[in-house]
């Protein structure tokens, strides 16, 4: 019966995507709004982050060296202090350290290889959390059992990843007994089938508070041959890959993950393509990276591109996302905006998901998209 009800509600979400009235807002379980903060070597200005609109801030990134977690950037210690000072105003905010990322996932496979090396990392993670007064850790291993950015990987990564999470859970629970608080463990998960084949998500979920689905970069210039949607809510039949938010959620639920532990990722940025055809306004036409790079963060798109300088906004009513097309220059840009995020929030509520995650704060400097998430989910 629940599945029938869910399908009926999803039908209303699809109708909303096509432009008919949206679902009425209903009270429900508290949803998470999770934001990645990537400042590099810069100092954080907490006043610009609108921290009252997020439940969890994931500070990116720490690195792995010698099987231990280490600060990734010059001002990390100062930034943690600044964020903790700001947290006094927002006592419910959780601050986690995110370890790894695309470029810094190279140390995971070696670190996880033996119980000894895993234990060394876990001890360092507990110390890191205590040192910086954090609320938990986010493991951003891209990707267990897969090469990712040319990183070392092994078949054993699957079971070793689970062992790492189990060990972290035990150690942080023991720390929590001493401090009287619950420490969060989360992961950033690849939203595609091969990721699920190389992980044991049903078992991993037992040790995790929630899973951040990286449901974006589903069509990337240079990596794909057609100019597709960056983060489609539903699969467009013209997409040669059956990628979408809905497909990822279906796959993770089928793999044994409770929907309440799934947090849907949304991008605060887009991708720009040069296309070879103006048919369908460039959507799913052959394409490649633009000759001159385009800053496709949402803040920059609003300032320079959306219905400006020859770019017109279009709507993919099947995938429920917008895109821009400059017919004169044959440039196609896929992105998310308040309309698409409202539909994704309706989907999150309809499916009973745990909430939403975004990358990243700096791409939406006016907090337009973040405010949309907050208004829809809070």
Nearest CA to 111 among 68, 59, 172?
Answer: 68
In the numeric block, which tokens belong to residue 170? 């035990």
In the annotation, is 85 catalytic?
A: no
Q: Give CA separation, 148 vs 104, 105, 156, 232, 264, in Å.
A: 10, 8, 16, 22, 21
Q: What gap in Å lies between CA 192 and CA 138, rounded to an integer? A: 19
Residues in contact with 250: Cβ distance below 8 Å, sequence separation at least 6, in sequence order: none
Q: Give CA separation, 378 vs 157, 260, 320, 343, 345, in Å.
A: 38, 16, 22, 15, 10
Please, how many CA atoms are within 13 Å of residue 116, restricted to the half-sphere of its CB? 1
Nearest CA to 229 among 184, 191, 174, 283?
Answer: 283
Name the catalytic one among 24, 39, 142, 285.
142
- Residue pair 370/298 in contact by the 8 Å Cβ criterion: no
Helix axes 368-377, 338-351, angle to 10 degrees: 30
C-alpha torsion 179→185→212→260, nearest 10: -80
Q: What gap in Å lies between CA 194 and CA 196, rounded to an integer? A: 5
Which residues are tagged catalytic?
142
């Amino acid at each position: 019966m629940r599945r029938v009800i869910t399908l009926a509600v999803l039908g209303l979400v699809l109708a909303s995507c096509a432009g008919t009235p949206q679902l009425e807002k209903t009270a429900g379980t508290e949803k998470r709004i999770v934001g990645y903060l990537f400042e590099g070597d810069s100092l954080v200005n907490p006043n610009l982050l609108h921290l009252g609109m997020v439940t969890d801030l994931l500070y990116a990134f720490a690195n792995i060296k010698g099987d231990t977690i280490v600060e990734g950037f010059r001002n990390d210690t100062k930034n943690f202090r600044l964020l903790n000072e700001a947290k006094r105003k927002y006592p419910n905010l959780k601050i986690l350290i995110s370890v790894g990322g695309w470029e810094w996932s190279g140390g995971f496979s070696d670190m996880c290889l033996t119980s000894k090396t895993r234990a060394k990392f876990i001890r360092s993670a507990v110390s890191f959390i205590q040192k910086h007064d954090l609320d938990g850790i986010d493991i951003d291993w891209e990707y267990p059992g897969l090469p990712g950015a040319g990183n070392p990987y092994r078949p054993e990564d699957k079971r070793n990843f689970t062992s790492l999470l189990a060990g972290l859970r035990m150690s942080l629970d023991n720390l929590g007994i001493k401090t009287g608080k619950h420490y969060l463990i989360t992961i950033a998960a690849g939203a595609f089938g091969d990721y699920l084949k190389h992980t044991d998500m049903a078992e991993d979920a037992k040790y995790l508070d929630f899973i951040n689905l990286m449901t974006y970069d589903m069509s990337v210039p240079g990596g794909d041959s057609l100019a597709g949607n960056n983060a489609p809510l539903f699969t467009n039949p013209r997409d040669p890959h059956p990628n979408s938010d809905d497909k990822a959620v279906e796959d993770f639920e089928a793999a044994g993950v409770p929907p309440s532990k799934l947090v849907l990722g949304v991008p605060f940025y887009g991708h720009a393509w040069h296309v070879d055809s103006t048919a369908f306004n460039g959507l799913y036409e052959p394409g490649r990276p633009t000759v001159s790079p385009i800053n496709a963060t949402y803040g920059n798109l609003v300032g320079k591109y959306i219905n400006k300088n020859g770019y017109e906004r279009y709507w993919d009513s099947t995938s429920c996302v917008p895109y821009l097309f400059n017919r004169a220059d044959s440039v196609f840009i896929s992105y998310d905006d308040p309309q698409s995020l409202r539909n994704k929030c309706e989907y999150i509520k309809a499916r009973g998901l745990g909430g939403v995650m975004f990358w990243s704060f700096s791409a939406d400097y006016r907090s337009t998209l973040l405010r949309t998430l907050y208004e829809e989910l809070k």
